[in-house]
């Protein structure tokens, strides 16, 4: 399984700790956005969310789409990153997929979210990446 995200539209979500304390929710501590697309991003709202579509990557665990809501309450913009506070990743099937590791990260494709197309694209194609930069391939027997 491969994936391709143009550098121009690549947004990465990193965290230092993933905590599973509440059913259907993962709290992400030390969370921030980074990546080339930040040079084109407007100021984020202090409290907001986006829906992440993990599509085929999680298809092995369920026979339907997998969309998780990423929400935050607190934003601090720096030149290199957008720091996020009180970050929660939520989905009713969170217990069906493998748990996030502290050194994993998510690559988000923002290509369909430029001003003229954003209203027609409700989710962001997203990919869970291992700490070595490789896409998790849950279907293989490596």
CA distance 1 to 59: 12
Query: What's the whole-number mean pLDDT along residues 49-78?
Result: 84
- Exposure string of 61-98, with b = 16+ CB inside 10 Å and e = fewer, is eeeeebbbebbbeebeeeeebbbbeebbbebeebeebe
Phi, psi of 56, rounded to the nearest 5 degrees:
-65, -20
Give tens-digit pLDDT for 94-136: 777 788 999 999 999 988 655 555 455 688 899 999 999 888 8
């Amino acid at each position: 399984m491969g994936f391709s995200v143009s550098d121009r539209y690549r947004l990465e979500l990193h965290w230092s700790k993933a905590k599973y304390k509440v059913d259907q929710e993962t709290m992400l501590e030390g969370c921030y956005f980074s990546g080339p697309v930040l040079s084109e991003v407007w100021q984020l709202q202090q409290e907001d969310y986006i829906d992440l579509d993990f599509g085929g990557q999680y298809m092995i665990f369920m026979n339907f789409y997998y969309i998780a809501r990423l929400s935050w309450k607190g934003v601090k913009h720096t030149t290199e990153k957008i720091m996020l506070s009180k970050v929660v990743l939520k989905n009713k099937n969170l217990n069906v997929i493998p748990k996030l590791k502290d050194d994993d990260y998510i690559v988000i494709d923002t290509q369909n979210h430029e001003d003229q197309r954003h209203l027609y694209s409700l989710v962001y194609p997203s990919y869970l990446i291992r700490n070595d930069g490789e896409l998790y391939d849950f279907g293989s027997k490596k």
